[in-house]
Amino acid sequence: MATLIIGIDLGTTTTVVSRLNEAGRPEIVTNWENQPYTHSALHFTKDSPKQPIIGSTAREVAGVEEGAFKEYKRDMGTERVYHAHGEEYTPTALSALMLRKQREHIENTFGQKVDMVVITTPANFPSEARAATVAAAVSAGFPEPITTMDEPTAAALYYADSEPVPLNGYYLIYDFGGGTLDVTVLQAKGKDIQVKYSMGVAQLGGKDFDERLRGLVAGKFKEKTGSVLDVTDTTFNDFEAEKVKHRLTDSEKADFKVRSMQHGLISLSVSRAEFEEEVSALITQAEFCLEGALDKAGIKFADLKGVYMAGGTSKIPCVQKSVERLTSIKPKVRNPEQSISLGSALYAAVRLGTRRPAALSSAQRENVDEITVKDVAPYYIGTLTANTKRGGEVVICNSILIPKGESLPAKVTKRYYVRKDGTKTLNVDVTSSYHETEERDEVTMLADTEMELGPDAKQGDPIEVTFVVNENGQFEGEFKDVKTGKVEVIKLLLSPDIGTPPDIDDFLV
């Protein structure tokens, strides 16, 4: 029986599944509606609060009906709770339900269990969100250990595998999805991919373009009717706004009608030029991200050999024009909504081949043997330390141990020292940030606990701090009291547990 090797782009707006076929080529797995993607939406109805509808039907009512959720991926790793008919769901629980549905469909389609899966995450996903993604995949029943991969790196792998001329030099991957933007600078030689730096905006994507378009339509609606555009009065929700946006991608103007209970059918029109003016601030924000990524990578525009785009938002003409204007390179946009999933299927075969070489067929092995991928730390990792300034003032500062952009896996051990005799406990602080800073109020706390020291702790006793960012981009670490040998394993402040519900077997579709 052939090995079932799967790559999943668990996107903010859509989830795309691929597999590596017997010939060693990645291909899309259509969903239960025979579509090449699934809307990342779930709808818990009042009559069936524990059996959600998943996909396009749920997407149409998300934001309108109680218990219909989308874009929960933006909240992965946070404490946000979604409420539906008396039940509570964490973003991790919703992701677990989506992944469980995908796994069951895959296994029913091919009549066997999944052997290996790689799930993609935004390049600038924090450690808590990455841990939550892994927890969701485990809860969904995928085989462990779960591997994650940065979305732009997966897209780069797809392009490297499918280009007729082997890549050779520095390239830019511009991944503009439904919820996030990631710009990655990498060096490639054939299928050898070395990421240099990645910069992103966690809350910038197609959703934000849809919101600007809804505002534009609301203004036109008020001009015609004198009334505020209200989803309780009209059928124009964010799903309808997205459809207008897609029409403006292909046409210079979109004519459409909004049905209002108060005013009847209202004919409206939006031009591409009007839309582009409305989203110009978003485009500017994206341009700053692109320029910043190149600057941090130490690469000039003239050094780039090519630009590749991924994600549905990259199809918008003004987005493509913006990238071409900055780089002076016409970007390649091929399978933007599928490239990430297809690339992750290739990487799944690489990882499975490392763990179980005999699991790959000769054709699969031949296609992936040349692939090497080296990603980088997606954030700065540090710890809070007490520094004595001139004049004797003690100031708590952030000390960076692993810089953003460090090649993965990254590991560092550093010694700190007890400040005074008789110290009974030591604060075990771990910080995360997307820019280099010593200021404690500019970082996010990953861990904040106390470590008990030995009874005779003295000034100058060494404390060894070991921090690791593993190949999944997740943080691991420990503090060690060298004198006593006691080790404190660091626990993240936000648990990657799926939360409520604790057992998603109770919530099967």
For residues 177-195, one letter each, b for 16 or more C-beta atoms within 10 angstroms of the residue's C-beta and e for the rest, the string is bbbbbbbbbbbbeebbbeb
Residue 506 in this model has a pLDDT that exceeds 50: no
Q: Look at residues 105, 39, 36 and name the one whose alpha carbon lies nearest to residue 72.
A: 39
- The pLDDT assigned to 494 comes to 64
pLDDT, tens digit (0-9, with 9 covering 90-100), for 109-134: 999 999 999 999 999 899 899 999 99
d(CA 430, CA 128): 13
Q: Look at residues 244, 243, 268 and name the one whose alpha carbon lies nearest to residue 258.
A: 268
Residue 419 in this model has a pLDDT that exceeds 90: no
pLDDT, tens digit (0-9, with 9 covering 90-100), for 433-478: 999 999 989 999 988 888 889 888 999 999 999 999 999 999 999 9
- The pLDDT assigned to 59 comes to 92
Residue 497: band (very low, low, confident or very high) from pLDDT cuts 50, 70, 90: low
Residue 285 in this model has a pLDDT that exceeds 60: yes
pTM over 0.85: yes
Residue 177: band (very low, low, confident or very high) from pLDDT cuts 50, 70, 90: very high
Q: What CATH number does the domain located at 380-489 have?
A: 2.60.34.10
d(CA 333, CA 312): 10
CB within 8 Å of 247: residues ≥ 6 apart: 254, 256
Residue 504 in this model has a pLDDT that exceeds 50: no
- 28 three-state secondary structure: strand
- Residue ranges, comma separated, of all CATH 3.30.420.40 domains in the chain are 5-203+285-374
How high is the mean pLDDT of the chain? 92
pLDDT, tens digit (0-9, with 9 covering 90-100), for 361-411: 999 999 999 999 999 999 999 998 887 666 667 788 999 999 999 999 999
pLDDT, tens digit (0-9, with 9 covering 90-100), for 145-174: 999 999 999 999 999 999 999 999 999 999
What is each CA distance from 80 to 92, 120, 169, 399, 506, in whole angstroms? 10, 22, 42, 29, 21
Using an 8 Å Cβ cutoff, are 192 and 201 in contact?
Answer: no
Between the ranges 61-70, 360-369, 424-433, where is the mean pLDDT highest? Answer: 360-369
d(CA 290, CA 172): 9
CB within 8 Å of 215: residues ≥ 6 apart: 278
- The pLDDT assigned to 95 comes to 97
**Average pLDDT estimate for 24-37:** 97
Helix (H), strand (E) at residue 323 = helix 317-327
Residue 507 in this model has a pLDDT that exceeds 80: no
- The pLDDT assigned to 496 comes to 60
| Weakest mean pLDDT among 20-29, 348-357, 391-400 | 391-400
Residue 216 in this model has a pLDDT that exceeds 60: yes
Q: What is the SS3 assignment for 258-296?
A: EEECCCEEEEEEEEHHHHHHHCHHHHHHHHHHHHHHHHH
Using an 8 Å Cβ cutoff, are 178 and 59 in contact?
Answer: no
Q: What CATH number does the domain located at 5-203+285-374 have?
A: 3.30.420.40
Residue 499: band (very low, low, confident or very high) from pLDDT cuts 50, 70, 90: low
Residue 500 in this model has a pLDDT that exceeds 70: no
Alpha helices, H only, 163-250: 206-225, 238-250
